[in-house]
Structure formats: structure tokens, C-alpha cells
Amino acid sequence: MRRMFNIYNNNMSQESKLLTIQNCREDIIGELDAIIQYANHYYATEDLVTRATILDIMEEEKLHVGQLFGLLFSLDPTSKTQFEEGIKEFEELKDKMK
């Protein structure tokens, strides 16, 4: 099991902070993998109860992605800046394609 750190500890060493940031990024990947897996399961069945259950779980995983990005952005503000720039560049490209 991974060691967990108090991310709001002002005395956290740079090494601990970097490890926490990397763990957060790994957790985002894990949540995205779960979303892909649930989507595959959703489309693999026609059973309505199964689909509704899987869809509910998949939507919860999307919420987790948002929470983890919020955590990442608070730990590494540069990531937030770059993320926002990427969205801006995408929007500009999309507008040019209209």
C-alpha cells in the first residue's frame, strides 16, 4: 500500500510533494482507465438494469477525475495553467473550423 501524505502540511519536503503530485497523476490515469472499462462493459450488454448500474458507476468515476484534477491543480498550479491554455488552444482551433 502506498504511503499517504498530508498535502496541506506546510513543512512537506519537496520530495514528498513531488511524490504526492505523481501519485495524483497516477490516480487520474486509474480513474480514466476505469471509465474506459465501464464504457466497454456498458456497450457490451443490452440488459437495461446492467446498463443503468454501469452508467451510474461510470459517471461517479468522472466525478473522481474532476476531484483529482482539483487536487493536482492545488498542488501544482503550473499544471492548471497549462491545462487551461490547452483548453483555450482547442477552443480557438474549434472556432476556426466553423
Instruction: Read off the pLDDT of residues 2-43 as tens digits, 9 standing for 90 and up.
Output: 555 555 556 678 888 999 999 999 999 999 999 999 999 999
Residues 6 or more apart in contact with residue 39 via CB below 8 angstroms = 58
Instruction: Read off the pLDDT of residues 47-62 as tens digits, 9 standing for 90 and up.
Output: 999 999 999 999 999 9
Confidence of residue 1 (pLDDT cuts 50, 70, 90): very low
Euclidean distance between CA atoms 83 and 78, whole angstroms = 8
Euclidean distance between CA atoms 24 and 7, whole angstroms = 11
Q: Note the pTM of the prediction, 2 decimals.
A: 0.82
Q: What are phi and psi of 44, to 5 degrees?
A: -85, -5
Euclidean distance between CA atoms 77 and 12, whole angstroms = 17
H or E element that contains 98: none
Please state the domain extents for the chain: 16-96
Euclidean distance between CA atoms 91 and 88, whole angstroms = 5
Q: What is the mean pLDDT of residues 64-87?
A: 98
